[in-house]
Amino acid sequence: MLSGYDLNLLGRFLALSLTAMGLVLLWGEGGILSLGQGVFFGIGGYAIAMHLKLVELGSGEVPDFMVWSGIEKLPWWWAPFGSALFAVIAVFVVAPALAGLVGWAIFRRRIGGVYFALITQALALAFATLLISKQDMTGGFNGLTNYSTLLGFNLNLPETATGIYFVTLATVAAAFFGLRWLIASRFGKLLRASRDGTNRLRFLGYDPTPYKVIAFAVGALLASLSGALFTLHSGVISPALVGVVPSIEMVIWAAIGGRHSVAGALAGALLVNFAKDKISTALPEMWLYFLGLMFILAVTVLPRGLAGLFGEDRPFRASRKGDLFARWRKDRAEADAAGTASAPNAKEIPA
């Protein structure tokens, strides 16, 4: 039986695994490396944290950090988060909508590869900088913390923490099976086709842009849910959790577990974060070196991650079987055969 502390810790790591699983669809299946998933993680985390800060206040009151900054009236864009329903809708809608808009603007111009990665990394840097600079509105570097009530339940009670854990577990299970279904669907095949050969996909009459945008939006949704659930477990959300470094760490979770396997990404997130908890406690100055070493080993020795050791990256291995290009190759072979058969023999050509 897990203690309350261990259960809360496991809940945090399960929440973080949602972001890693989203990268399987985006990076593993779509070939789209995003170094800015921390932005969407932060959107979900701040959306739920804003509600938790407001629900404890009386009429006309403002959060403590606003009082310290001399703000006496709640900003208009904060007010709707007093509703739990609005906060939940924001978690589900804002991040995917932002990813959809950004993705459409980028992918329709056929920008990808390292350029897309750099753009998303710049977004993560800009988002973290904005949160820090607007201390009177966002809590600055300290972020949002010190909340104790959710839907009338005391967050400090063990029963409430257990309930949040099971909500997190159910969300992770739903995301796990949902992603596996999506990857095996026609959408997943087209997404892999856009990864393996965009020009061939266009030749077949498909526009890869919508598939990439949807994959980016789904990854953003999972990151937003990850941020919201992590905030409920940890009791804090801050710029230190949403910037460039956290975004890169999220990619490392997927790389170590296996970017072509949902199960691998889940295991990678749990493994790396458990290691971080133990190593950073005993040797805090050594953790980043250890993380870098794990990433180097994953890239050089285990390019398919831990999942590759157990054959759990089957969608990746099977991507060349029955893929969309098989039809293209078949049609081309038939056309070549027909052309050869109908071509006149040299002896039959009149002089």
> Distance between CA 130 and CA 39 in Å, rounded?
11
* Mean pLDDT on 261-280: 94
| pLDDT number for residue 90 | 98
Q: Identify the top-confidence range among 70-84, 115-129, 332-346.
A: 115-129
Cα–Cα separations (whole angstroms), residue 238 to 75, 138, 174, 243, 274: 19, 9, 27, 9, 21
Query: Average pLDDT of 201-207?
Result: 88
pLDDT band at 155 (very low <50, low <70, confident <90, very high): confident
User: CA 275, CA 116: separation in Å to the nearest integer?
Assistant: 30
- Return the pLDDT at 334: 55
294 pLDDT band (50/70/90 cuts)? confident
> What pLDDT is attached to residue 313?
60
Q: How confident is the model at residue 348 (pLDDT cuts 50, 70, 90)?
A: very low
Residue 29 DSSP label: I
Answer yes or no: is pLDDT of 182 > 60.
yes
pLDDT of 319 strictly over 90: no
CA distance 30 to 82: 38
Average pLDDT over all residues of the chain: 88
Taking residues 145-174, report their average pLDDT: 92
Q: What pLDDT is recorded for position 295?
A: 84
99 Cβ contact partners less than 8 Å away, ≥ 6 residues apart:
40, 213, 216, 217, 219, 220, 221
The larger pLDDT score, comparing residue 43 to residue 332, is at 43
> 335 or 298, which is more confident?
298
For residue 299, pLDDT beyond 90: no
Give me the amino acid identity at 21: M
Contact between residue 38 and residue 124 where contact means Cβ atoms under 8 Å apart: yes
* Residues above pLDDT 70, as percent of the chain: 88
Domains of the chain: 4-54+81-337 (1.10.3470)
> Quick one: pLDDT at residue 204?
86
**pTM beyond 0.85, yes or no:** yes
In 179-280, DSSP assigns E strands to 236-237
Question: Would you list the DSSP string of 198-227?
Answer: HHHHHHTT--SHHHHHHHHHHHHHHHHHHH
| Percent of the chain scoring above 90 in pLDDT | 66
Residues 212-227, mean pLDDT to the nearest whole number:
98
pLDDT for residue 337? 56
Tokens found for residue 1: 């039986």
Exposure pattern of 13-29 as b/e (b: 16+ CB <10 Å)? bbbbbbbbbbbbbbbbb
Top-confidence residue, 199 or 93: 93
pLDDT band of residue 130 (cuts 50, 70, 90) is very high
Q: Is the pLDDT of residue 87 over 60?
A: yes
Closest C-alpha among 295, 260, 322, 303 to residue 26: 260
Which pLDDT does position 347 carry in this prediction? 42
Average pLDDT (218-240) is 96
Structure tokens at 53: 């800060």
Q: Is 7's pLDDT higher than 70?
A: yes
